[in-house]
Chain A
Amino acid sequence: MLLIGAFLALAGRCFYLQFLRNDHYIGQCLEQKQGRLPYKPQRGVILDCRGRVLAASNKVQFIKVEPRRVKDFKDLSSELQPILGMGAHEICKLINESNNPGYVKIKADAKPSECDAARRISSAVGVESDWQRHYPMGRLAVHAVGFTSLDNRGLDGIEYQYDKQLSGSAAQDIFFADVRRRPIRPAPREHSPADNNDVENAVLTNGVGIILTIDATIQQFARDELVRQYENYEAESAVAIVVEPKTGAILAMVSLPDFDPAEAHSTDPDNRRNRILTDEFEPGSIIKPLVAAIALDAGAVNKVEKIFCENGNYSGRGFGRIGEYRRGFGDLTLREILVESSNIGMAKIGQRLGKDKLYKGLRLFGFGKKAGIDLPGEADGLLRPAHKWTGYSVTRIPFGQEITVTAIQLVRAFCILANRGRIVRPFLVKAIVDNDGEITELKRPLPPVGYVVKPEVAEWIVSDAMVGVVNEGTGKRAKLDKWQVFGKTGTANIAKSDERGYSDSDYVASFIAGAPVEDPAIVVLVSIRKPNKILGKGYTGGVVASPVVGKIVEKTLNYLEYRYARADF
């Protein structure tokens, strides 16, 4: 009986182990026999339009110590000291003060020879590697490229917008290991690799590369000139953007103040803002050519008639009093209104046009809605619906008050004019390439789907009125010998934040220009916020912004001419 009982107990135990606890023990057995090697994907590169690296990831080695396995901190520190080139007291302090008994990072970015030597000292010392993001051009294109967090997630710019594509997918190798944990045989995969979230069975895919439309050379031209003026005028902020009007490709975008992407985490969040997209401002006179184009297109005015500009003092019921910036004018043609930048002339054009046509025209030029650029954080701007307009609105909007715009919206609208009225959408990503360098997605400019204003109207505004602004008017400082530039200045008062009305000392000085007028290759906008008026150097768009635009246009066209000449060769 005893024997039968013993056999039954044995059989019961066998059943328990073989059937009830089977999975548990198989799991434990595999844990002992198998090793796992996780692979983190390499984050994709971001390149400029000529293939120069704006952002790339590289693996760096860290030397780590497991404090709970260290018998004597001092001995270990002394042994590590000559290898790592660090003070023994420093190493000892790091190990002593670590809150984590299983891990303390001793040295980042260690050389392979240091890693090999350190590893041999003790089993408590280990080497770990991880990807680190590098930005070889530093702050040059930081607002377009963006930056990543410490765990390599995109936090701003293209890094954020295309985070998923740039990240790739992680995987791990599972293998049978010998007693010293050396891999001896790959372990069979248990599931199908179809599930993307299953890291165990996923295939390692590095992130794709992104080619931007930005040209680092043009970006450098724009940044150099803008920084100089920004510092000269002790301005609060400044932006510059260079766009190819035919396609909408952004060749350069600079926002100041900027920051070093390697130190992004300790930077003032205000500096991290891409002001080209996020900052709305009243455009001032810079909007006048657009309103003139809408009026001319709608037949509200013609090129030859003269509009009486009230000698600088225009008032009436429902729209208050309107003055000029400098001096009053009598009869002016549409061209003269733009060249002299007459507010009263524009107010009268607004009244003739009427609020509905003006509103529709401005919407068609893209105001009051996002430009749709492939970057995060874009603001809409403010263009109230026509039914909410007052008598003031229809006379103030034509010279850039009661409307707020972003720099990208403004440059887009002028690209439409330079493109003979044809719709343009600015874009920043030129192509996406896979890990073999093959283009997987080519971003094409918007197909020519329609006109915002008639081509002849856009052409007249650009080649006659805006050329006049540069040759005879407020934009003379942007005049170039080699190319005919067209442009428009803007000096907008900044509204007071604590009470009604506009500040007398704070302005946004802007200038937008393009060249060559016969076949515009670039449109450049420079906008400088709050140049210091007390310095006595001037504060208007013509004085502060137009020289910067002139230099950017000159350098860029010289460079493009050279580039195309080389391409032909």
Chain B
Amino acid sequence: MRSRFHLVFVVFCFTAVLVFAVYLRSANNRIFFDLCSCRGEQSRLKQELGTKQLLLEGLINPAALSRRFDGINTNE
């Protein structure tokens, strides 16, 4: 009876370790996938910021300001 109990216990532990190993492996994969996604998102946000910065530069650079002042003077 005791030896049967031992056998069940060993099989149970062995199965639990296997399930845990599989879980760890899939968690690792999932985290890596999340990391890649976050990196992509970060790069997209960075690019969006870059686009906005360029847009701003296009509006406030001396050439654009001069053009706008010329326009105001002409209208006046």
Contacts and interface: CB of A to CB of B under 8 A. Distances in A.
A178 B54 contact: no
Contacts of B57: 52-53, 56, 136-137
A136 B50 contact: no
Nearest to A184: B29
A183 B51 CA distance: 28
A140 B57 CA distance: 13
Chain B residues touching A, range = 10 to 19
Contact of A185 (B29, B43, B54): B29
A220 B63 contact: yes
Given A52-B57, A134-B54, A219 B29 contact: no
B54 A183 contact: no
A185 B61 contact: no
B54 A216 contact: no
Taking each of B43, B57, B64, which has the highest tally of chain A beta carbons within 10 Å of its own beta carbon?
Answer: B57
B61 A58 contact: no
Interface of B: 28-29, 32-33, 36, 43-44, 47, 50-51, 53-54, 57-58, 61-64, 66
Interface in A228-252: none
A112 B51 contact: no
Nearest to A58: B50
Chain A at the B interface: mostly helix, strand, loop or mixed? Answer: mixed
Contacts of B51: 58
Given A136-B61, A138-B63, A112 B44 contact: yes
Interface of A: 52-53, 56, 58-59, 112, 134, 136-140, 175, 178, 182-186, 216-217, 219-220, 223-224
A138 B57 CA distance: 11
Nearest to A138: B63
A186 B32 contact: yes
A183 B61 contact: no
Given A53-B54, A217-B62, 20 more contacts: A53-B57, A56-B54, A58-B54, A59-B43, A112-B44, A134-B54, A136-B58, A137-B61, A137-B63, A138-B63, A139-B63, A140-B61, A140-B63, A183-B36, A184-B33, A185-B29, A186-B32, A216-B61, A220-B62, A220-B63
A185 B28 contact: yes
A217 B47 CA distance: 27
Contacts of B58: 136
